[in-house]
Structure 1
Amino acid sequence: MGTNYTPIPKDSFVELQFQDQNNYRSQNPKLLHNEVDDDIESDFDNLPLVIVRKEPESGSGVYGAVFNLATSVIGAGIMALPATMKVLGLIVGIVLIFIMGVLSEISVEFLVRFAVQCKSNSYGECVQEALGKPARVLSEICIIVNNAGVLVVYLIIIGDVMSGSLRHIGVFDQWLGNGFWDHRKLVILIVVVLFLAPLCSLDKIDSLSTTSAASVALAVVFVIVAFVVAFVKLVEGKIEPPRLVPDFGSKAAILDLLVVIPIMSNAYVCHFNVQPIYNELEDRSPKKMNKVGRLTTVLCVMIYASTAIAGYLLFGNDTESDILTNFDKPLGIRFSTALTYIVRVGYVLHLVLVFPVIHFSLRQTVDELVFNGSGPLSENRKRCLALTFVLLALVYLGSTMIPSIWTAFKFTGATTAVSLGFTFPALIALRLSSQGPGLTSGERFLAWLMLSLAVIVSVVGVAGNIYSMQSKG
């Protein structure tokens, strides 16, 4: 016979409950064998015998957080690293990759420590506690400009790889010949509507941990393929000796050097997603988040260094600003056609999976800036969807107007990326250290060093970009 009652385990304790349970329990505390948590929902079905326990929502684990944070780091910037090796040389380039990774990890630890100290729930709130409301607005504008620029770059790469550009043939052209897929804007629009919009509509960053893990795996596949091809060509003697240090012998080389350093500093910027990831950790402690930051840094340094070395060795002085465009031609070894497809299509899929993670913090920041005081975005599904679709539309329009990822990286790297990754975290640490345990002498030195380097990189980068544009004009 059907019943709505739940079987009661033999070893459990059942108590007939009075209508005034709180009063009765307070008067008879020993009647309960096992104390029931406050978040238990009881469905008595007109009888007080059945207790239904609501399972608490579990947060993100360490590795899920690592994948989300690593995905925030390993985006399109990795494709520009081989081109920076062409300018910096292998020795200087690898040293800078390591130094920037270490400084970025330290700045993340500063951010986490002082966000917990002042009980901030977002990057902007932490900045406001340290530097005031105008600084918060400035930091949120930096996040919006940086993340929107990065998402535009992703769409440009997807369009260039799949549909081709003026200088490079696309995957669809190689597979299918000429057709409607030659229209880059149409292909990008289809990708946005069919793939990106559903993923970007999710309202929790922890929901993206699986896709983030897949995106990191695809980046590793790219690194492995590039290294295998480079090794084969090195054994066969088909690789030219690489540059080891920058070329200071020409004005053009020095100008390129001034331009690529901000791009290198842009590579590790993930600070806008640190607080959302921390907020959804199962164990919300600074120690646990610092572990996430360190694991992420090690993973990203390995992937970045491998990509930069393998990519530059493969193509030498012919390395493009977006190395994916180098893979539209034969590589000079067996199965090169299949390998080029694996690299290009795999990295396009990687960017599709990275896109929602960057979009998440963009949407959160826009909501905090525009709808401040309207309640959490996760509790208003209509506002969340409306912001998602508006931002996707604006990013799509931007991808149809900016011609090159190099153009976008040069300016965001020298301005917003440096500010978010180094300037604001250093200022937060220096200003809020007087309100808590404070900084050690070594930490204070690192904070001042980080701040000084950020100012220098910003000034030099902006000046170099402006001069470069005027020279080419």
Structure 2
Amino acid sequence: MELEKLSATEEGEMLGNGNHLSGLNTEKMMLNEGFETTESTAAEFDEFLPQHATKKQIKFTDFEGKTSLGMSVFNLSNAIMGSGILGLAYAMSNTGIVVFVILLICIAMLSAYSIHLLLRSAGFVGIRAYEQLGHKAFGQPGKIVAAVIISLHNIGAMSSYLYIVKYELPLVIQAFLLLRESNGMWYMNGNYLILIVSILIILPLALMRQLGYLGYTSGFSLSCMVFFLIALVYKRFQVPCPLPVYGNETQHSQIVYSKIENHTIEEECTAKLFTINPQTAYTIPILAFAFVCHPEVLPIYTELRSPTKLRMQRVANISIAAMFVMYLITALFGYLTFYGSVETELLHTFNRVDPLDRLILCVRLAVLIAVTLTVPVVLFPIRRAIQQLLFAKKEFHWLRHTVIAIVLLICVNLLVIFVPNIRDIFGIIGATSAPSLIFILPGLFYVRIVPNDREPLKSRSKIQAIIFAAAGFIFMIMSLSFIFKDWSSGDGGSRISGH
């Protein structure tokens, strides 16, 4: 029996070597031609790395992927989980539980399908760089557009994370010191704190050469968010409705209370299954932004051990499913805790519970740790985009690797320090980058890159990709229309939060 198994295995290896011989030759051509192949050669293979070849495989990157599937799941989940998670309870309050759940399921499925298109496009040409896919599909303009969109979106995401650090960390320190008001010391200044956090925590992690090493910090970041969810579920049964007033309320909270006075307690403390109001239209953009992780997909794929499209799709599906559960729990229990009183940022709503509550303090600290450890993961695609644009033919160099990270952190810190309110800028960037990364670019890449002799333009797969890209354009126009309508009505800017 063992001899029969051995013979079958050897026969399979011989067949595998024969089937992938042309793929190996094509890979060599790609390395010589700067990751570019013609459509005829691209059609010769469908996977990045042959699974049964006995010789050492030629890689498309300058190092061999060694990240396990579990660590890759942690990294991609951490990339998905952005600051948008704090706005999901507010989104549920403006749609109702049933509509929110339906929309959340749809967006999660569309995000998984989008990653499928991205991986399929990459598989036909053996490219694992978003910018190079843009170059393959539309030449140099496509490469530039992809790099710019990725950079703008991730800079906006990094800024939103540091904004949370800037405004929440002083409150955490104040609560630890049992102070009712800020004492004016330097360690209560958010601008100084983000500089300290950037230098001591973010920069060392951002200097790592491989994204896979951040799987450990990503896992810890996700653990902090799990603690946040547990505390949120516990507080659901502790926080009374309507909310009590503690000491000095912020101006924003006073406005909320004045609106609540016009409703009965029963109306304000009852969960709604279906709700339609002027803010309902913002739910889809908020949910879409919460699932943007596409710039990180190909870098994570590059560093995945034994990479195949099926294996990377499994990483994406597990990550999206995990984030779906976390998002649903956060939105549901955040909404059932505060009902109609929930604010656009869930942490800010907790300020109206006892500000010195120790559990709430630990929750805020956990969220701060989570968003801080996410910044280095988001920085990697920006650095990769810059390298693809300016240093595509250059070998890896530590000095260039370090300088780009430092410059990016300096720019983001300056943006957070000197721009007091860039919510509208985030709204414009998010309304254009999110649909581009989720819908438009993956759909167009698939239509342009996959050879017509393999899948004709009238095939079901390409028609679906075209419809998918068209839906992205519609979504972009819709989001921008809501933002401009807010501006014209003087509501104070878009409530669409960044990733």
Q: What is the TM-score when the length of structure 1 is the normalising length?
A: 0.80
Q: Does 1:429 align with 2:446?
A: yes
Give 1:265 deviation, angstroms. Answer: 1.1
Deviates further, 142-151 or 336-345: 336-345
> Match for residue 273 of structure 2?
244
CA contact (8 A) 1:263 1:409 kept: no
Indicate the SS of the match to 2:450: helix
Give 1:213 deviation, angstroms. Answer: 0.9
Give 1:121 deviation, angstroms. Answer: 2.7
CA contact (8 A) 1:158 1:348 kept: yes
Question: Among residues 454, 459, 467, which one is paired with 2:477 in the alignment?
Answer: 459
Q: Does 1:70 align with 2:87?
A: no
Distance in 1 separating the partners of 2:140 and 2:158: 27
1:146-180 CA deviation, whole Å, 9 max, x = no partner? 000000000000111112xxxxxx11222223222
CA contact (8 A) 1:121 1:275 kept: yes
Give 1:261 deviation, angstroms. Answer: 2.4
> Match for residue 136 of structure 1?
143
Q: Residue 413 and residue 262 in structure 1: after superposition, are their counterparts in 2 closer, same or farther (change >3 A)?
A: farther
> Match for residue 49 of structure 1?
none
Give 1:434 deviation, angstroms. Answer: 2.9
Q: Does 1:275 align with 2:298?
A: yes
Give 1:205 deviation, angstroms. Answer: 0.2
Question: Among residues 354, 359, 362, which one is paired with 2:379 in the alignment?
Answer: 359
Give 1:443 deviation, angstroms. Answer: 3.4
Which one-letter code corresponds to 1:369 in the other structure?
A: L
Distance in 2 separating the partners of 1:221 and 1:127: 39
Give 1:233 deviation, angstroms. Answer: 5.0
Give 1:89 deviation, angstroms. Answer: 2.1
Distance in 1 separating the partners of 2:418 and 2:338: 29
The percent of aligned pairs where both chains have the same amino acid is 26
1:391-420 CA deviation, whole Å, 9 max, x = no partner? 000000111244457545532331111101
Q: Residue 428 and residue 111 in structure 1: after superposition, are their counterparts in 2 closer, same or farther (change >3 A)?
A: same
Q: Does 1:147 align with 2:159?
A: no
Distance in 1 separating the partners of 2:167 and 2:290: 21
Q: Residue 88 and residue 453 in structure 1: after superposition, are their counterparts in 2 closer, same or farther (change >3 A)?
A: farther
> Match for residue 213 of structure 2?
207
CA contact (8 A) 1:327 1:344 kept: no
1:244-323 matched pairs, under 5 angstroms = 244-248=273-277, 253=278, 256-323=279-346
Which one-letter code corresponds to 1:242 in the other structure?
A: A
> Match for residue 172 of structure 1?
173
> Match for residue 101 of structure 1?
108
> Match for residue 365 of structure 2?
345
> Match for residue 469 of structure 1?
487
Q: Residue 228 and residue 128 in structure 1: after superposition, are their counterparts in 2 closer, same or farther (change >3 A)?
A: same
Aligned length: 404
Which one-letter code corresponds to 2:327 in the other structure?
A: Y
1:200-250 CA deviation, whole Å, 9 max, x = no partner? 1111101101111111111111112112221455899998112332324xx
Distance in 2 separating the partners of 1:194 and 1:293: 31
Give 1:38 deviation, angstroms. Answer: 8.2
> Match for residue 23 of structure 1?
none
Distance in 2 separating the partners of 1:339 and 1:453: 43
CA RMSD of aligned residues (A): 2.6
> Match for residue 235 of structure 2?
229
Give 1:260 deviation, angstroms. Answer: 3.7
Distance in 2 separating the partners of 1:38 and 1:99: 42
Indicate the SS of the match to 1:132: helix
1:253-310 CA deviation, whole Å, 9 max, x = no partner? 1xx3333422221111111111111111111111111111111111111111111111
Indicate the SS of the match to 2:357: helix
Distance in 2 separating the partners of 1:436 and 1:240: 60
Indicate the SS of the match to 1:348: helix
Which one-letter code corresponds to 1:391 in the other structure?
A: L
Indicate the SS of the match to 1:246: coil
CA contact (8 A) 2:455 2:462 kept: no
Larger radius of gyration: 1
Deviates further, 397-406 or 420-429: 397-406
Gaps of 5+ in 1: 1-35, 40-55, 164-169
Question: Among residues 384, 390, 402, which one is paired with 1:370 in the alignment?
Answer: 390
> Match for residue 123 of structure 1?
130
> Match for residue 496 of structure 2?
none
Indicate the SS of the match to 1:192: helix
Distance in 2 separating the partners of 1:69 and 1:144: 18
Give 1:363 deviation, angstroms. Answer: 1.2
Distance in 2 separating the partners of 1:38 and 1:224: 47
Which one-letter code corresponds to 1:337 in the other structure?
A: D
CA contact (8 A) 1:266 1:412 kept: no
CA contact (8 A) 1:263 1:414 kept: no
CA contact (8 A) 2:64 2:303 kept: no
Which one-letter code corresponds to 1:195 in the other structure?
A: I
Q: Residue 142 and residue 57 in structure 1: after superposition, are their counterparts in 2 closer, same or farther (change >3 A)?
A: closer
Q: Does 1:87 align with 2:94?
A: yes
> Match for residue 48 of structure 1?
none
Q: Residue 446 and residue 436 in structure 1: after superposition, are their counterparts in 2 closer, same or farther (change >3 A)?
A: same
CA contact (8 A) 2:167 2:190 kept: yes
Deviates further, 302-311 or 322-331: 322-331
> Match for residue 405 of structure 2?
388
Give 1:364 deviation, angstroms. Answer: 1.1
Distance in 1 separating the partners of 2:412 and 2:479: 25
Gaps of 5+ in 2: 1-53, 58-62, 243-264, 493-499
1:44-84 CA deviation, whole Å, 9 max, x = no partner? xxxxxxxxxxxx96611111111111111002111121121
Give 1:431 deviation, angstroms. Answer: 2.0
Deviates further, 184-193 or 323-332: 323-332
Question: Among residues 34, 37, 59, which one is paired with 2:66 in the alignment?
Answer: 59
